[in-house]
Structure 1
């Protein structure tokens, strides 16, 4: 491969590093929940579910482009990094377009590699055939969710229900539901387990995304690797925003309209928005929903027809996904 492509390959590897590995973990335990595997089967399934990290990496790179985010996991977002490279090399043309174009290609390549890793994982042809429909549905849903996110940012899908719809499509399905379904497919499980996994995944996936939204505004940048101002300056229309807008007065709505989406907003204005989210009860309502949805998911885990070690692992994952600080 041409040496000029090395930065692209290194960036694909970088976006698959770090993170919480929740999606492969849900898929793996979704499989182990109903099977006692031989070591060779375990290794093949681990390779298969690792492919989810490349899907996730692809989604993150493209999401950062669409949101004009500047950082990801404590390092420059892919499009920013390639823009910096364009400048450092003294290349001609638009730095922004070069960075954006390179990032789109990095995200596309990560998606291509996810397919390759799944196909070459070593799982049986029968298991691969069972997994493909779930795999395809998951990738379609995350793409649809990204569009809904764009639509909401442009004024479509208003209100709290619109925010929750985006959360369900964009994150909940491909973070918990489809990974669990993928594990069930690899195990050749029946519809009873798939339905049980859905009962777990829908509330848990929503709670996961809501925790992400809270961390994006109230988290510790030293832990999250991301500024707590970016989501506000990008104008992300989360449930936090929707509830604050619903509960405040005209002055509060004017503040939100003035600050959200303004990349030049100063610290005082951004802190005023955070104060509004607290004073209107929006932050507490989101925290309460996270608690309720997590409890619902854990009850479903307790009742699911799975092996005891998998039940314990899934419960631990549910807690980790919704009480995390990163």
Structure 2
């Protein structure tokens, strides 16, 4: 099998640190337009532009360098990850464009396999790939720009939390740790299998469940970690989030790997960004902190529903194949983030 060379960081661990990103964007005037329903203000998953009272246009892009040596898996997961932003907004993907960087002058066959992986994900999502752009670069980079649609009245953002809601997480945490261990030859086969299957899984059915049960807010969990995205959701909503670490689903074996020190560098950048922004209950172990800060590639959805609907949400998610879905916390009035 053709194999890719791995860069220092791949997948969503390659994101620019959140603190640097905030400094970069501070004070930028992006222009105002009353038709922009969701812009840059709350750091949401995608932008939404109003076309009519019944139709909003969802726009997003996501791309990253390889997180694995398998070019097909890399392409497939990169595409699933890009599509997830549309699902997180309560939208339906319509079409996508490939975004590709690849070394010139060498064997181009792995690039075709990368594109085939992306195409497989697009076909599973039921959308066409209608174009793209490719430039020469020392390291492969692949992803998509995705166009979607959403009913403005049913759109789900990261800013809709209300006190007293239950928080549901659809996929397990630990892909960053698992891929770091795989690079070192330390990842158990079952841990790797579960991590790969989680990253390959579309968030389409999860978004449908969230929408049908009236989710008030939603985000997908990617490179800024469960804590990072929960912090952004709480800040955007001006509400508080309490997470119960005992209820957070972890990929089997990920806790042992984190305890061994198989932790990607982005974990520490996430920790730096969140310093002073969250509270930990007494006795929260270091390896569990690392997992809560673990950068996820193609992670699950975190959404808020009324408490009486949370158990049904989990049951429906598990019936749809999200085997690790669970209720991981609740919202409170006092703004902030706490882990118990």
Q: Scaled by the length of structure 2, what TM-score is found?
A: 0.25
Greater strand proportion: 2
Higher CA-based Rg: 1
Ranked by relative contact order (alpha carbons within 8 Å, sequence separation 6 or more), the top structure is 2
Larger helix fraction of residues:
1
